[in-house]
Structure 1
Amino acid sequence: MKLFIPSLKKLIEQKDFDGVNRLLTVHPELANESIAIPFDSFCRSRAHPLHRICDGVFAGEITENEAIRLAEILLNNGADIDGDKVKGEGTPLLAAASLHAEQVGIFYIEQGADVHYTLKNDGASALHWAAFCGRDKLVEKLISASASIDKPDITYNSTPLGWSVHCLRSNDIRNKHKQLDCIKLLLRSGSDTNKLDKEKVNYLISLAKDDHELRKLLN
């Protein structure tokens, strides 16, 4: 009788770390085979497992520590740290940066993830997304890993600094975290305010009236 073997997606949902390791030991090819979003019964879109565990963090179903533990198992069984980069698709680092999986993103960088990669059609880097999401620790890690500070994306022709200012100015309360700290980190690292539009510059100037550190960075 053939035994039922749970899928990688199901084992991730169950947080069965030993089960994930056993499955990948027998079928290492699954470490790089796209899966649907964990904890979502309706979405059929598929992506690399290192990407999908970030979706689990974003959904609040997996902690960052659990995600890192899963990532370690995947990597130990041959997962590519850059996921489907060779196919021109989003990388696990881009996923971590855009899905608020800050510690996972830092872990991916430490494992050698490409900090410069962007999707060809939008040009937004992991630094763009980390700055937009207000994840200052990831922004700091990306800067220390020599990510491009002032390269604009294609869609909005905006730098990571511009993305962070845009989010801080917006009404998106749920997405606001430490954008101001990200802005200061970027300015401290040499981000050019001349690449911002006038509205964003004026907004920073208005913030600086009550923030001595920001005022000093802008002068």
Structure 2
Amino acid sequence: MKKLIDNKDYKGIEEALSIHPELANEGLPYDHENTTKAHPLHRLCDGVFSGQYTEEEAIKMAGIFLAHGANIDGNEPAFKQDSPLTAASSLNADQVAFFYMENGASIHHAGCHGGTALHWAAWCGRSKVVKKLIEHGAEVNKRCIDFKSTPLFWAVHALKNGGSDHLTESMECIKILIQNGADKKIPNDDGENICDLLNDEDVMLKELLQCG
């Protein structure tokens, strides 16, 4: 199945799933070296991120998998493991994320580090995904598990520590979160709030977050 996906063999995927529908939810390795398995809907996001195929092509393949019984949330994604939507939100697969949301993906699952799709979209500077997740009811002030940090904290931390190199998009994420009730005063597990992260060089962030 991995080879069929890599080759964008829509007909081959359709035929294989018609004969063996259980393959719609069977984990696939990343490649020959990384044999850790993940749900096919997750692996489609990996392919978009690596440039193997476009988002439109990934969505077409995802539609075939869903038509043959693929679980939109993966195989009951384990605690602190990414669901397909979390993967899409962190792998620059914006249109795939929208497609998964439209097909009923859970927006509340705690993935890697206990971060939701909103945490990861904020970290990666995916402003359109941040906006869409909030429209679907994502919890703006939800704290992740490992760091007890909000999506706003993740967004600012990414700009300060290399999680995102898209200044404009990351600033837009921060604006969207603030406009939708993100609380800058909520501390992380070290007792620091967002303003504590900033220094004299962070003029734009200080102004945006109103940190004195």
| Coarse TM-score class (shorter-chain normalised) | 0.7 to 0.9
Cross-structure match for 2:153: 162
Q: Distance in 1 between matches of 2:149 and 2:110?
A: 14
CA distance in 2: counterparts of 1:218 and 1:25, whole angstroms:
57
User: Which of 53, 64, 68 is equivalent to 1:73?
Assistant: 64
Q: How does 1:108-119 map to 2 (within 5 A)?
A: 108-119=100-111
Per-residue CA shift, 1:20-76, capped at 9, x if unaligned? 111111111100000111xx3211110100001111111111211111111101001
Q: Percent identity?
A: 44
Query: 1:153 and 1:14, CA in 2 relative to 1: closer, same or farther beyond 3 A?
Result: same
Aligned position for 2:132: 141
- Displacement, 1:172? 5.1
CA RMSD of aligned residues (A): 2.4
Report if aligned partners of 2:114, 2:144 keep a CA contact under 8 Å in 1: yes
Contact between 2:195 and 2:211, CA under 8 Å: does it hold in 1? no
Could you tell me which amino acid in structure 1 is paired with residue 26 of structure 2?
Answer: E
For residues 93-113 of structure 1, give each alpha carbon's deviation from its aligned partner in whole angstroms, at most 9, with x where no partner exists: 111111111111111011000
Correspondences of 1:62-141 after superposition (within 5 Å): 62-85=53-76, 87-88=78-79, 89-119=81-111, 122-141=113-132
Task: Give the counterpart of 1:186 among 164, 177, 191.
Answer: 177
Write the mapping of 1:201-216 to structure 2, written as runs, cut at 5 A. Answer: 206-207=203-204, 214=208
Please give the alpha-carbon distance, in whole angstroms, between the structure 1 residues aligned to 2:75 and 2:152: 27
Unmatched 5+ residue regions in structure 2? 187-192
Q: Secondary structure at the match of 2:100?
A: helix
Q: 1:167–1:176: 8 Å Cα contact kept in structure 2?
A: no
Counterpart check, 1:36 vs 2:29: yes
TM-score by length of structure 1 reads 0.85
Tell me which of 36, 42, 51 is aligned to 2:42.
51
Normalising by structure 2, we get a TM-score of 0.87
Q: Classify 1:92/1:86 alpha carbon distance in 2 versus 1 (closer, same or farther; 3 Å).
A: closer
The answer to whether the Cα contact below 8 Å between 2:124 and 2:163 also exists between their aligned partners in 1 is no
Name structure 1 gaps, 5 residues minimum. Answer: 1-7
Match of 2:2 in 1: 9
Q: Could you list the runs of 4 or more consecutive aligned residues of structure 1 that deviate by over 6 angstroms after TM superposition?
A: none
